[in-house]
Structure 1
């Protein structure tokens, strides 16, 4: 039963990510955290995100903004290390509550007050986004909300944003895996080997289905889906934090 859930969850994540640019961590993170446990589940999501991002990057590489990718991904380790430390020394629900609240607030401001805020230009904003994304990805398996805030604030074209997210997710996931495993914050000791072939099969089917569907989805619709997913992901982080405090 658990493997069937893994297949359906990874398929849905890969499908939505090919369609909107994000989805694997947002969809799979909460579900696999319940099925496999909060630490092991997120670690498995990190691996799936790396594999999914690799396959998706191949199909959208022409639209990738490699300059922004370099800026954002180069500093993700700066956010990943303190997140791994926090997992060991601070009550995770407290951090999740703070992170979820801040991301939801930022999304609300950049979405509904977009016409009233200045455009986020320059390298500084991209670097800050990379640090926050690395922190969130290591802590909760979800970097997309922070990146969506930056995309909204910088008026980043959605096609380029969605494509550039893929190599960013690859770097973020790889950093999170290495940091958590090397610091002892998580391990694959109790992960069944069947998760990997089932997950990869679901991923391939999801990407193929998403590629076919993406030809029928308009750019504005894809952007709205991405923002909605980012808000949902931040809400899940906030809920996990509040639930853990009660």
Structure 2
């Protein structure tokens, strides 16, 4: 049994679940680099999507009234359509190369998202929504890292109100649920070596993180939370790049 990956996953999903509840994203940015570092990119895809769907299901009842169903459809349909190509990409790529890809996506995605934050111009419409959804689907299925593409879309479109936080919960339930369902057929290998009780144990920090996020959502400065997640994501992404590069050069 891989106790290190189990412990790292437990801490990461707790932080990611709290961030997901408070700002509508952060789950993949936190959990993917952490789990990929200790268990590999394919394992990270499974862990991120399985427990991500669970976290969003727990959050969903509290945000149901604010969901933007039309925008959800524009993003979710192309995301689902691109999942099989994403899983096939993950299955055929080199493990160390995938680590580097995950790290680069994390770092570049976060940096670009932050850079766009300063732009006052808002862009939105069906083409951008479809492109964003398709990109999220590919990245989430291949490396468990669809959040940077989502972040860039929200910053470009100016969609950063309470409907964003609400709509992201059913969106990730759909996206993550479909990936978990089709993964055993398309890319069955690469699951973490945990016993059944280890998989059950991870549910505890997921629910605890959501509950903490519920308590802090109206008390904590969201700017502080956002920058904390950004810092953790950058650190995890850089660690993955170094680890993958070192292994390829060895």
Within-5 A mapping of 1:111-126: 111-112=114-115, 118-126=121-129
CA gap of 1:34–1:105, structure 2 versus 1, over 3 A, is closer
3-12 vs 132-141, which moves further:
3-12
Indicate the residue corresponding to 2:50 in structure 1.
47
1:155 aligns with 2:134: no
CA gap of 1:233–1:72, structure 2 versus 1, over 3 A, is farther
CA gap of 1:93–1:69, structure 2 versus 1, over 3 A, is farther
1:140 aligns with 2:164: no
105-114 vs 168-177, which moves further:
105-114
Aligned pair count reads: 246
Rounded to whole Å, the distance in 2 between the matches of 1:87 and 1:155 is 32
Contact 1:93 1:241 in 2 (8 A): yes
Rounded to whole Å, the distance in 1 between the matches of 2:98 and 2:193 is 26
Q: Offset of 1:132 from its aligned partner?
A: 0.5
CA gap of 1:73–1:193, structure 2 versus 1, over 3 A, is same
CA gap of 1:105–1:193, structure 2 versus 1, over 3 A, is closer
Rounded to whole Å, the distance in 1 between the matches of 2:15 and 2:106 is 23
> Which residue of the other structure, out of 10, 13, 29, is the alignment partner of 2:13?
10
Contact 1:140 1:237 in 2 (8 A): no
Indicate the residue corresponding to 1:165 in structure 2.
168
30-39 vs 228-237, which moves further:
228-237
Within-5 A mapping of 1:178-217: 178-186=181-189, 190-217=193-220
Q: Offset of 1:241 from its aligned partner?
A: 5.7
Rounded to whole Å, the distance in 2 between the matches of 1:153 and 1:230 is 21
Q: TM-score, normalised by structure 2?
A: 0.80
Q: TM-score, normalised by structure 1?
A: 0.82
CA gap of 1:36–1:227, structure 2 versus 1, over 3 A, is closer
CA RMSD between the two structures: 3.1
> Which residue of the other structure, out of 58, 61, 65, is the alignment partner of 2:61?
58
Contact 1:145 1:234 in 2 (8 A): no
Structure 2: give runs of 5+ residues left out of the alignment: none
Deviation sequence 1:95-152 (CA, Å, 0-9, x none): 6656765775565455435566852221111111111001111112121111000000
Q: Offset of 1:193 from its aligned partner?
A: 0.7
Q: Offset of 1:31 from its aligned partner?
A: 2.6
Contact 1:22 1:226 in 2 (8 A): no
